[in-house]
Amino acid sequence: MTGIPRDHPRYESLITREKIIDGIHMGITSQQGLVAQGRGEAFDYLIGERTTESAAFAERAAVAHILLAKNPIISVNGNTAALVPESLVALADVTGAMLEVNLFHRSDARVHKIIEHLKANGAGKVLGGKGDKRLGLSHDRAIVDEEGIFSADVVLVPLEDGDRCQKLVEMEKTVITIDLNPLSRTSLSATISIVDNVTRALENMIQFAKDMKHDSRESLQEVIDSYENNKVIPDALYAIQEKLKQQSEERGIQWI
């Protein structure tokens, strides 16, 4: 990463890619994670590489849900472990949520490496090693800990698989997702759909949590009650449309 000049116009994106590659070398990220990262990066570019107003509202409502939850869990996969380990730990610390490793391309060795990586970045107890319960899915993201995702009332699942998101919703859990694709099954299925880059979203949520953690339960519930998730997807699509229109006009391309 040291070879990337800070004045490069795509510096942040290139650094992010390098973190995923480092994660592969460390054994915590799968090679398929590079494909997922590239897809998200494309949507981030389309949305203007910024946190939209509706995404910020979603992040604030998400924090209110986590702070009110009895057993909030933050699900961690290989990409998030490589990209934002410190932020995951910080959000868990400020909200009282637990971290649980959950992987599509799962092996005991990889789960252990991610747990140790999170602990090296300040985490205490990290769930995911037991895998003593299963959700009704045919792949390894079905494997969860009973005291974690299986019994959680609120689950934050950054960079999620759509079918697991749907299954968690069917289990009547509050499911908070972070996904830059506003038309993914994940975004369309979640209780709260945060259409934002995971690095920005988690930093925003940490700050919201610091600001809100001493608020009354009534105040937090008001935040939740005032939030409408069905407006998030149209707002994200509108932001993409406006970004494309702006880029076209700046380059003298007729916008249809």
Distance CA(7)–CA(126), nearest Å, equals: 37
Tell me the pLDDT band of 11, cut-offs 50, 70 and 90.
Answer: low
Between 21 and 2, the higher pLDDT residue: 21
Tell me the pLDDT band of 8, cut-offs 50, 70 and 90.
Answer: low
For 53-236, CATH gives 3.40.50.12640
The pLDDT value recorded for residue 190 is: 95
Residue 174 pairs in a beta bridge with 154
The pTM score is: 0.91
- Comparing CA positions, the residue from 206, 179, 30 lying closest to residue 114 is 30
Give the mean pLDDT of 54-80: 96
Between 154 and 139, the higher pLDDT residue: 154
The pLDDT value recorded for residue 94 is: 98
Domain ranges of the chain: 53-236
